C-alpha cells in the first residue's frame, strides 16, 4: 500500500508540483469505498468504516473492490467477496478481472474445447459464453472483443450486454465506450458512436479519451476539447490542457494556470503558478510559495497559506504546515490539526495517514481518531 501522495501529471501538458491524493485511474463509486484495504505481515485483508476486520489479512494481493465485489487472491486462484466478507464466487483461475457493468472477462473452453474469452456474471456463471480471442471491460453498455480471422489476425469490435457483436470486428485497437469510443484502424485514430458510425473530427486534430464528459484535443501546438459525441466544443487555443474533472479543466497560458468550463469560458483566470483538478467545487492552487483553494467563480475561497495541499474529498482536504499534514474543512479551518508525516484523502469517512516514526499507518476518522493501525511488529 503506497502511503505517499502521487504527483499530478498529464502527457499532453506541463507537469505540476502540487501534491495529489492517491486515487485510482477510474472514478470510485460510493459502494466501492465501504471496505478499506489493510496489510499485516505482507498479507492483505480489509476493514469496514468502524475499523472491524471484515476480510481477514490472509491474501497475497491488496483487496480491491469494484461494483460491490472484492477481489482476493491466493496463488493462481482468485475469489470474489461481498461487502460483508461473504464469498460469492469460489476460488477459480478463469479470471482475475474486476467487474464492470456486472460482467468480468474470463477464459474458458469454447464449443470446440479450445480456450477463448467470454464473460462471467456476479455469481461466477457464464453470462456470455467463451468465443472471443480477447475481451475487455464493459463501459457504456459495450465491451471491446477480439475476433481472429483464419490467419490468426485479431481485430476488435464491440458486443452488447448479451454478447451480440453490434459493431463488427474491423479495428486494430478499441478503447472503452462512453457515448463514443476511440478506435484505431491502419494506424489512424478514429471516433465511432454506439451504432459504429465514424464521427471523427477534422483530420488535423488529435484527441484523447473521454473524461468528465469531454475529450482533450490538440491542433498543432494548441489544445481544446471535443464533447462526448466527438464534436468540437472548445476550439484549440490553450498552450497546455488537462482532462475535465468536476465540471472544470486546468489550462496553461503564458506559464500560468487557470480553469475553463464546458462552455469554453475561462472561468478562473490563468494567474496561478501551479494548480490541481477541481474536486467538490474547489481546486488547490499555488500563488507564490503557498497553496490555497479557488472556487468555480474564480474566487480564492481559502487563502494561500499552506505549504502543500491535496484535493477535497468527503468534505475535507489534507494540508501541510510546518512539514506536518492535517485536514481542513471547506472554510479553511483545521478539522484535524497537523500531526502526520503523510496523509491521504478521505473516502467514506476514513483516511490513511501516518504519524512521524510510525511504522505503516493508521485509518483515521473525521475526528482524527485511529480506528485501525498497522501492527508494530
Segment 205-217, tens digit of pLDDT: 899 889 999 999 9
What number is the average pLDDT over the span 114-119? Answer: 97
- The pTM of the full predicted model, rounded to 2 decimals, is 0.87
Q: Are 120 and 103 in contact (CB under 8 A)?
A: yes
The hierarchical CATH code for the domain 35-93 is 2.40.10
Average model confidence (pLDDT) across the chain: 91
Tens of pLDDT, residues 154-191:
999 999 999 999 999 999 999 999 999 999 999 899 99
Burial class (CB in 10 A: 0-12, 13-18, 19+), 12: middle
268's CB contacts (< 8 A; 6+ apart) are 248, 258, 259, 283, 294, 296, 298
CA distance linking residue 187 with residue 173, whole number of Å: 9
Per-residue pLDDT, 16? 31
Instruction: Tell me how far CA of residue 232 lies from CA of 182, 183, 224, 281, 356, in angstroms.
Output: 15, 18, 8, 25, 50
d(CA 13, CA 260): 15
Q: Residues 245-254: pLDDT tens digits?
A: 999 999 999 9
CB atoms within 10 A of CB 283: 28
DSSP 153-165: -EEEEEE-TT--E
Quick: pLDDT tens for 301-337.
Answer: 999 999 999 999 999 999 999 999 999 999 999 999 9
First-last CA distance in the chain = 17
Eight-state DSSP code of residue 166: E
Could you count the other beta carbons within 10 Å of the beta carbon of residue 377?
A: 6
Q: Which of 177, 173, 230, 179 is nearest to 207 (CA)?
A: 230
pLDDT bracket for residue 31 (50, 70, 90): low
- Going by C-alpha positions, the residue among 285, 291, 338, 282 that lies closest to residue 315 is 282
For position 209, what pLDDT does the model report?
A: 87
Which residues, including other chains, have CB under 8 Å from residue 113's CB and lie 6 or more apart? none
Q: Which residue intervals of the chain bear CATH 2.40.10? A: 35-93
Amino acid at each position: 500500500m503506497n502511503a505517499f501522495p502521487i504527483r499530478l501529471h498529464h502527457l499532453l501538458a506541463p507537469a505540476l508540483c502540487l501534491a495529489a491524493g492517491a486515487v485510482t485511474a477510474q472514478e470510485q463509486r460510493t459502494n466501492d469505498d465501504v471496505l478499506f484495504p489493510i496489510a499485516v505481515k505482507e498479507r492483505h485483508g480489509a476493514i469496514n468504516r468502524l475499523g472491524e476486520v471484515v476480510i481477514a489479512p490472509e491474501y497475497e494481493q491488496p483487496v480491491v473492490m469494484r461494483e460491490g465485489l472484492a477481489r482476493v487472491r491466493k496463488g493462481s486462484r482468485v475469489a470474489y467477496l461481498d461487502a460483508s466478507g461473504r464469498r460469492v464466487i469460489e476460488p477459480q483461475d478463469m479470471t482475475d478481472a474486476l467487474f464492470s457493468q456486472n460482467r468480468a472477462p474470463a477464459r474458458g473452453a469454447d464449443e470446440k474445447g479450445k480456450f477463448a474469452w467470454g464473460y462471467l456474471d456476479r455469481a461466477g456463471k457464464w453470462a456470455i459464453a467463451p468465443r472471443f480471442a480477447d475481451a475487455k471491460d464493459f463501459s457504456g453498455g459495450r465491451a471491446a472483443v477480439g475476433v481472429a480471422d483464419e490467419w490468426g489476425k485479431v481485430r476488435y469490435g464491440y458486443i452488447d450486454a448479451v454478447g451480440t457483436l453490434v459493431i463488427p470486428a474491423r479495428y486494430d485497437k478499441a478503447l472503452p465506450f462512453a457515448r463514443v469510443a476511440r478506435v484505431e484502424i491502419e494506424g489512424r485514430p478514429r471516433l465511432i458512436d454506439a451504432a459504429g458510425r465514424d464521427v471523427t473530427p477534422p483530420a488535423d486534430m488529435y484527441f484523447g479519451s473521454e473524461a468528465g464528459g469531454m475529450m482533450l484535443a490538440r491542433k498543432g501546438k494548441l489544445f481544446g476539447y471535443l464533447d462526448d459525441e466527438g464534436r468540437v466544443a472548445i476550439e484549440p487555443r490553450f498552450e497546455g490542457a488537462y482532462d475535465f474533472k468536476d465540471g472544470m479543466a486546468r489550462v496553461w497560458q503564458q506559464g500560468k494556470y487557470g480553469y475553463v468550463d464546458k462552455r469554453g469560458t475561462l472561468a478562473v483566470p490563468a494567474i496561478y503558478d501551479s494548480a490541481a483538478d477541481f474536486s467538490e467545487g474547489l481546486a488547490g492552487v499555488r500563488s507564490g510559495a503557498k497553496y490555497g483553494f479557488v472556487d468555480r467563480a474564480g474566487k480564492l475561497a481559502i487563502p494561500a497559506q499552506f505549504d502543500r495541499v491535496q484535493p477535497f474529498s468527503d468534505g475535507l482536504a489534507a494540508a501541510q504546515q510546518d512539514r506536518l499534514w492535517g485536514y481542513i474543512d471547506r472554510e479553511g479551518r483545521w478539522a484535524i490539526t497537523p500531526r502526520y508525516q503523510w496523509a491521504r484523502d478521505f473516502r467514506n469517512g476514513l483516511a490513511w495517514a501516518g504519524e512521524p516514526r510510525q511504522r505503516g499507518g493508521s485509518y483515521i476518522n473525521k475526528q482524527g481518531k485511529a480506528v485501525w493501525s498497522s501492527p508494530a511488529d
